[in-house]
Structure 1
């Protein structure tokens, strides 16, 4: 009987992953992600800087995009440039984070590191991915910090202690006519912006959008604790939680096949995953989760790439 039970268990398919928490581990090569319990393609795609259809197509995952703990996914999706930093003697994760414009939590999440964040000389660390233009072969000098006293030199060479941009591999089955690259994405997004956007909350913009590798991928709006955060457009909640480090209590809303919006650092979340929301609906209360002061970090992504929210929001 015991042998029969063991045989039945080994033959059964693992339970599908539920939730949308990016808790898995990025392998040392920076190109592969090992799925953890709680992951879905939405959380992994958000972390990798791509969109769900592209990530699914690149890994030959059919709809409804079921993934399983322990499954390895390829992150070298078409249109993305991967930047890798190789650890050198004397480095700590805190030093690397400071010198490359990341937070320690951000680097830890990107590389699947856990406290006390031990690293070793020569170890490749994946930096935040960004979309590249179709003919872009390296990160521009404005996209990374300049060399200075105590600073880490970032350049396209492959020597230890440097970051290396790597072109993505050829897509397995790219969708015809779709653009995923930097300036091209910005132009296409502007042309296809048919959604009726509104401001997610009141208050001054204290940090603007930047296309730089280490720049702000959205805008930050100052306000008061408990202030209402509203859906910038109608859609469905595909994420509501706090498992993506650096975002605190986060909500991601899918508006259509191209557009997502995100609302980070909230005090209270007032919607649940898979819930449909209307434009202007109260979805959260402003807070300071995973940041130093009370603010809303707001992002819009078009086909997985960050775009400037100020180009979509009405003037005020």
Structure 2
């Protein structure tokens, strides 16, 4: 067989091998996209395949929704048990936003969007007198507003007019101080039942509101961002092994490393509305289903699944990321 014949035979073999490889790979599930847990997405992009180590809380956290919404979407009843190999629908409705216009008030926006004003204020971390700015984006959530009234400090006061000055930046300054004027007082009490703190905890309240505290000491290296690919929490620099503490009393609903990009992660449920998350830990000191008090040592700072040593801290309200600086006390 001449040189040209051998080349032709080799090309035919390569073509057959390439066809076989393509056919085999086409039948496999698509790689994870959007949901950064260890499981896999189905090819349709609307289903997630549960793997060992997943919880409904960890999956909802990555999807950007809350557990009740994801559970209802999949007809899963409490206590929300899932199993490896189970296909979950993750095509839950996305949370919408409203851009504030001149002349708007929080009251007018709430009425127009079908919300109760206290609920809309709580969803966006706003406190009395509810100042909003032209161009500011307000989270509207996906839920139909419930009928539970939320206690606010001055319920009979007239709604505040929109400020025409330039909106304040939502990212946190490097000094670690909040640009909000609120101090250690919590926001309006959430409607859900809160897990109580210990009786001797100084930051605890008796009104059912969450009393937030800083999860660790250190300088803020990156602040919160509302952009689609922005930081969904704050990053705090520190030293390896530094104590990470619960920002409020609650129950550990996730403790593991199944979510890519978060490393050793802890998620604490504080009530039916609020979660807090603590990522990139060196070592976890609590387990799932464990009840923790405010300020309890829950992990050691590290750099798991990242390059720099520090804590990535998030607060979620009904599954939506909110700016922790609007909740944490001044320091």
- TM-score normalised per structure 1: 0.60
Counterparts of 2:269 and 2:210 in 1: how far apart (Å)? 12
Whether the 8 Å contact between 1:22 and 1:38 is mirrored in structure 2 is: no
Q: In the alignment, what sits opposite 1:132?
A: 96
The match for 2:249 among 216, 222, 234 is: 234
Whether the 8 Å contact between 2:53 and 2:258 is mirrored in structure 1 is: no
Q: In the alignment, what sits opposite 2:226?
A: 211
Counterparts of 1:303 and 1:227 in 2: how far apart (Å)? 30
Q: Does 1:297 align with 2:317?
A: no
Counterparts of 1:67 and 1:249 in 2: how far apart (Å)? 21
Counterparts of 1:185 and 1:299 in 2: how far apart (Å)? 19
Identify if the C-alpha distance between structure 1 residues 309 and 257 changes in structure 2 by more than 3 Å, giving closer, same or farther. Answer: same
RMSD (Å) for aligned C-alpha atoms: 2.6
Whether the 8 Å contact between 1:34 and 1:73 is mirrored in structure 2 is: yes
Counterparts of 1:72 and 1:41 in 2: how far apart (Å)? 12
1:138-157 matches, within 5 Å, as none
Q: Where does structure 2 lack aligned partners over 5 or more consecutive residues?
A: 1-35, 100-114, 125-136, 142-149, 151-185, 191-208
Q: Does 1:44 align with 2:59?
A: yes
The match for 2:215 among 197, 200, 205 is: 200
Deviating beyond 3 angstroms after TM superposition, the runs of 4 or more aligned structure 1 residues are 176-182, 188-193
Q: In the alignment, what sits opposite 2:264?
A: 249
Q: Deviations over 1:51-78 (max 9, x none)?
A: 1000011111122222233222111112
Q: Where does structure 1 lack aligned partners over 5 or more consecutive residues?
A: 1-20, 81-130, 136-175
Counterparts of 2:53 and 2:304 in 1: how far apart (Å)? 21
- Shift in Å, 1:238: 0.9
1:92-111 matches, within 5 Å, as none
Whether the 8 Å contact between 2:98 and 2:138 is mirrored in structure 1 is: no
The match for 2:138 among 183, 208, 224 is: 183
Rg larger in structure: 2
Q: Match of 1:261, SS?
A: strand
Q: Match of 1:195, SS?
A: coil
Counterparts of 2:264 and 2:83 in 1: how far apart (Å)? 24
